Amino acid sequence: MKKTILVLSTLLLTIAIAAGCGQKSADPQPGDQTEVVQPAEQTLKIQSFYTDDQILNLVPKDTEIKFSDAKAKYLAALKTLQQTDDEKLIALWDKSEFLSATLKDDGALTVDVKIPEDAHLGASGEDLALQSLLKTSFQFDEVKTVDILVDGKSVDSLMGHVELEHPFSRN
Partner 1 sequence: MKKIGTLVFFCLMLFMLPSLSHASAGLHLYLNGVSLSPSAEAQMIKSTTMIPIRVVVEELGFQVDWNKKTRTVTIHNDKKTIELVVSQKWATVNGKKVNLDVAPIIKSDTTLVPLRFVGETMGLVVDWENETKSVYLFTSDFGSEVTQPKPPVTQPDPDQGGSTGTGKDEGNNSSNNGNAGNDSKVDLSEIQTMSFEDNRLIIGVSKGDLKPTQQRLTGPNRIVVDIPNSKFSDTFSKTQNFASSGQAEFIVQDHPVVEKIRYSQYSDNPATVRVVIDMKQSQNFSVYTTKDPNTVVVDLNGSSPDPGKDNGTGTLPPHSGKYIVVIDAGHGAKDPGAISLNKRNEKDFNLAQALKVAEVFKNDPDVEVILTRTDDTFLELKERVAFAKQHQANLFVSIHANSINKSSISGTETYYSRDDESKAFAQVMHNNLVKGTELPDRGVRKQSLHVTRETNMPACLLEVGYLTNQTDESALYQEDFQYRVAQSIKDGIKQYLGLKS
* Secondary structure of 33-81 as H, E, C letters: CCCCCCCCCEEEEEEEEEEECCCCCEEEEEEEEEECCHHHHHHHHHHHH
Which residue of 11, 157, 165, 170 would you call a contact of partner 1, by CB under 8 A? 157
Please tell me the count of residues contacting partner 1 according to CB under 8 A. Answer: 25
123 sits near partner 1 (criterion: CB under 8 A): yes
Which residue of 22, 39, 107, 125 would you call a contact of partner 1, by CB under 8 A? 125
Handedness of CA 112, 61, 7, 38 (dihedral sign): negative
Minimal distance in Å, beta carbon 78 to partner 1? 17
Minimal distance in Å, beta carbon 133 to partner 1? 15
In terms of CB distance, is 35 or 165 closer to partner 1? 165
Site for partner 1 in 42-101 (CB under 8 A): 53-56, 90-91, 94-95
Site for partner 1 in 129-148 (CB under 8 A): none
Minimal distance in Å, beta carbon 55 to partner 1? 6
Q: Which residues of 68-101 are buried (b: 16+ CB within 10 A; e: fewer)?
A: bbbbbbbbbbbbbbeebeeeebbbbbeebebebb
Site for partner 1 in 5-34 (CB under 8 A): none
* 106: alpha, beta or left? (left if phi > 0; alpha if psi -120 to 50): alpha
**CA distances to 12, 31, 44 from 63, in Å:** 16, 26, 8
Start-end of H helices in the chain: 2-20, 73-79, 123-138
Which residue of 35, 64, 141, 156 would you call a contact of partner 1, by CB under 8 A? 156
In terms of CB distance, is 64 or 163 closer to partner 1? 163
Interacting residues toward partner 1 by CB under 8 A: 53-56, 90-91, 94-95, 117-125, 127, 156-157, 159-163
